[in-house]
Structure 1
Amino acid sequence: MSATAAHWTVVPARDFARHAARWQRLHAAGAASPLLAADFVQALLDVFGTGRELLAWHGDDTDAMTIVAPGRRGVWNTFQPAQAPVGLWLQADTRPADGLLAGLLQALPGPALMVGLTQCDPVLMARPGGARSFDYIRTARITVQGSFDDYWLARGKNLRSNLKKQRNRLRQDGIATRLEIVRSPDDMAAAVADYGKLETSGWKATEGTAVDAANDQGRFYRTMLEALARRGAASVYRYWFDGPAGPHLAAMDLCVEGGGCIVILKTAYDEALGPQLSPALLMREEATRGLFDEGRFERIEFYGRVMEWHTRWTDEIRTMYHLNGYRWPLLGRLHALAARKKGDSARVSAAPPAPAAAAPGS
C-alpha cells in the first residue's frame, strides 16, 4: 500500500528498514533526540510492532515523519510502546505540528477522523495553543553547565548529607564503590541480562513488568543497545559494592546518547540491600560527576513521570503533552466539549495512561 495526500506519503511500517536512511537524515537535521534515532525505532517495530503500523512522511524534502497505529474506529495514534519515552514523530524544526495533521488524516486509510500525537516533548516540538493539546506528565532534566561541585552545592543539604553518611557507612564496613561504564556492542547482551536479574529480584517481578533477557522487553533493550553502541550512542552503567565477600552488583542504568544529551532509560537496584542504603542514588552522584567532568553532553534527561527524588536532583521540570488532529474542526470542538462535560479533559487524548515510575532507592 502506498498513498499520497496533501504531500504526505504513507507506506507499511514493516518496510521501515527500506526508508531508514530517509528517517535518519531527518533525525540528523532536527532536534536529534536519541530516542528518535532510526536504530531505536527499528528495534521498537521489530519487537512490539503488530504489522498494522504505517510509516508516513511529508513533502518531497521530507520535513516530517511519523509512525502511526490504528486505534478505535476512525482514530490513529503515534506508535507508542511503553518502552518509547516520546512519541514517534520527527520533524526538521521545533515548530508546532498541528498544521500538518489535517493533511496526514487525508493520507491515512479511511475513514480517518482523528490522529493523536502522544507523549510530545516541548523541547523537540513546541506546544501549540488551543484546546487540542493535553497535559501528559511532568518530566525532569539536568543541564550540564559549570562544575559538578557548584551543581552539587546547589542541591539540598539533606541529600548531600544522607549520601555522605551512606558512603561513610560503606567504608566502615570495608566496602568500596566502583562505577563501570559499558559501551561495546559485544557487552550489551550480558549487561541486559544483569539488569534483568536486578529487576526480577524486586517489586517489578511480582507485577510482571520486569525486564528479563528472555522476554520482549529484554529482547528490545538488547537489540536497541547493541545497534546504538555500534555507532557509539549507548552506555550501560554498573555500580558495584566491592567488599570482603567479593564484588556485588548494586545498581544499573541503561542509557542512550546523542543530540547533546544522555537519556537514562531504565534504572534498577538491588532492593535486598535494605532501606539504609540507596545504591541507585549513590550511583547517580558518581555518574553525574563524571558527566560534568567529561563535558560530552549538554543535558541529562530522565523522562518518565517526575518523582520526589527527581526534585532533589534538579528544578528543571517541563510538561510533556498529547496533541490531537481532526479531519474537520467541528469534530475537534465537539470532542473537547464532550470531554469537558465528563469533567476529565485528559480522556480527550487518544494516548495511553502514563506508566508508573519507581524511585531509585530510598
Structure 2
Amino acid sequence: MRWEMHPASALVEDRGAMASWDRLNGQATRQVFMDTNAISLALKHFGCGRERLLIGKCHEEIFCMAVLVKSGLMRWATFQPSQLPLGAFLLCPESSFEHVIASLMRYLSPGVITLSFTQIDPFFVARPPDRETVRVSDHVETGWIEIPDDFEDYWRSRSKNLKKSLRSQENKLAAANVVSRMCSVQAPEDMPSAVARFGDLESAGWKGKAGTAVHAGNAQGRFYTDLMVAEALNGNAVVHEYWFDDRLAASNICLVRDKSLVVLKTAYNESLDHFSPAFLLRRDQIRLACDSGEFNRIEFYGRKRDWHTRWTEKFRTLYHVTAYRNAALRRAAGLVRMLG
C-alpha cells in the first residue's frame, strides 16, 4: 500500500481525481451523496480550505480514497458536515479496513495522534474489531424500508394504530373540504423553488427558532439547491411534496439511484401537525414506489425515532472508528471519557 495526499480541491479541479473517486464509489457505496458532485459541493459550502484528499494505491490500483481534515492538534478526521449522511471515505469492498487504518496511520505519522473515520455504514464497510490502538463505537441506529411490489401487502403489515390514525386524518381533511395530494418535483429548473419551499416550512418551525433551518439565504439552502439542480440533470433527484389544497403541508428532499431512495431532509408545516402531513406523505411515497416501481427501498440515514418503527422493523447501526498512535493514548482517551 502507498498513499498520496492532495488538496481536496482536486475533486473539483482535477478530472482524473474526480473520475477515480466516482469509479471507486461505483464499487464502494453507489450512493449519489458520495459522488464527487455532492462531496465537492459540500467542500464549497462547508469546507474550511484545509481539507486533504488521500488516495491509497496497491500495484497502482486505487483501493481507498478519503477527504480528511485536521480536527485539532495532530488529530485528523474524515470530512463530515452534517448534510452528508456518511463521512467522505470510500473503500474497495475487497480491501481490509483494518489494514487501511494501520497503513494510513503510518503514512500520516509522526504528525498524527488520532485518526477518526465518522459515520460509516456497515452495508458498505464491515465493522472492524476493537484493538489496543483502535476504538470502534456506535453512532446511531438508522432504518430503511424494503418495499414490496404490492402496496396492500405492505399496508397489511403495518399496525392497526397507524392505519386508524391516517384514516382519521383523511376523514378530518374531507370534513373540512380539503383536497390532499402528493406531487413529485424532478425537473432541474423547478428545484430551486422546491428547496425554497422546503426552507420556508423548516424555517417556520422549531428549527427556525433554533437557527438550524434550511433557507435560501444560508449555506445549507445554497448547498441543497446546487445539489438538487445538478442531480436532477442526472435524473437522481426528487422532492416529494404533500399539499392541502394550495398549502404545502410536508416535503422530503431525496436522492435516488439503483431504485434506492435516500431521504436527505424532511419538513412539515407544524401548524398542521394535527393532520399528520408527514405521515400521509410517507404513506403515499411508499404507495408511489409500489405502483410505479421507481424505487424499492427507502433509506432514512437519520437517528432512529419512534415514528420510524411505525414504518419498518429494519435497522442497522452506523459506527465511528478512532485510531490512536499507541495503546497508551487510547487508554488515556478512555479515562477522559469516563471522567468527563
Match of 1:11?
6
Match of 2:28?
30
CA distance in 1, matches of 2:258, 2:124: 11
What is the TM-score when the length of structure 2 is the normalising length?
Answer: 0.93
Aligned residues of 2:173 and 2:275 also touching (Cα < 8 A): no
Match of 2:146?
143
What is the TM-score when the length of structure 1 is the normalising length?
Answer: 0.87
CA distance in 2, matches of 1:182, 1:116: 37
CA distance in 1, matches of 2:163, 2:144: 19
Following superposition, the deviation at residue 103 of structure 1 comes to 2.1
Match of 2:188?
185
CA distance in 1, matches of 2:99, 2:148: 35
Provide the secondary structure at the position in 1 that maps to 2:115: strand
Match of 2:172?
169
**Counterparts of residues 111-260 of structure 1 (less than 5 Å):** 111-131=111-131, 132-242=135-245, 247-260=246-259
2:305 corresponds to 1:310 = no
CA distance in 2, matches of 1:40, 1:250: 28
Provide the secondary structure at the position in 1 that maps to 2:214: coil
CA distance in 1, matches of 2:210, 2:41: 24
Aligned residues of 2:324 and 2:330 also touching (Cα < 8 A): no
**Counterparts of residues 1-150 of structure 1 (less than 5 Å):** 6-17=1-12, 18=14, 19-59=17-57, 60-93=60-93, 96-108=96-108, 110-131=110-131, 132-150=135-153
Following superposition, the deviation at residue 37 of structure 1 comes to 1.4
Say if 1:267 and 1:82 are closer, same or farther in 2 by CA, change over 3 A: same
2:332 corresponds to 1:338 = yes
What percentage of residue pairs aligned between the two structures are identical? 38
CA distance in 1, matches of 2:144, 2:289: 13
Say if 1:94 and 1:41 are closer, same or farther in 2 by CA, change over 3 A: farther
Say if 1:208 and 1:118 are closer, same or farther in 2 by CA, change over 3 A: same
Aligned residues of 1:181 and 1:238 also touching (Cα < 8 A): yes
Say if 1:94 and 1:219 are closer, same or farther in 2 by CA, change over 3 A: farther
Match of 1:358?
none
Following superposition, the deviation at residue 326 of structure 1 comes to 3.4
Q: Over the residues paired in the alignment, what is the CA RMSD in angstroms?
A: 1.8
CA distance in 2, matches of 1:9, 1:158: 56
Q: How many residues align?
A: 332
Following superposition, the deviation at residue 94 of structure 1 comes to 6.7
Say if 1:256 and 1:94 are closer, same or farther in 2 by CA, change over 3 A: farther
Unaligned runs of 5+ in 2: none
CA distance in 1, matches of 2:93, 2:296: 19
Following superposition, the deviation at residue 224 of structure 1 comes to 0.9
Following superposition, the deviation at residue 44 of structure 1 comes to 0.3
Aligned residues of 1:182 and 1:237 also touching (Cα < 8 A): yes
CA distance in 1, matches of 2:125, 2:105: 19
Aligned residues of 1:70 and 1:77 also touching (Cα < 8 A): yes
Q: Give the letter aligned to residue 116 of structure 1.
A: S
Say if 1:80 and 1:211 are closer, same or farther in 2 by CA, change over 3 A: same
Indicate which of 277, 281, 284 corresponds to 1:283.
281
Aligned residues of 2:63 and 2:95 also touching (Cα < 8 A): no
Unaligned runs of 5+ in 1: 1-5, 348-362
Following superposition, the deviation at residue 337 of structure 1 comes to 2.6
Q: Give the letter aligned to residue 307 of structure 1.
A: R
CA distance in 1, matches of 2:85, 2:253: 13
Say if 1:192 and 1:344 are closer, same or farther in 2 by CA, change over 3 A: farther
Provide the secondary structure at the position in 2 that maps to 1:56: strand
Deviates more, 1:22-31 or 1:202-211: 22-31
Aligned residues of 2:289 and 2:296 also touching (Cα < 8 A): no
Q: Deviations over 1:263-283 (max 9, x none)?
A: 00101111112x421111111
Provide the secondary structure at the position in 1 that maps to 2:6: strand
CA distance in 2, matches of 1:285, 1:298: 14
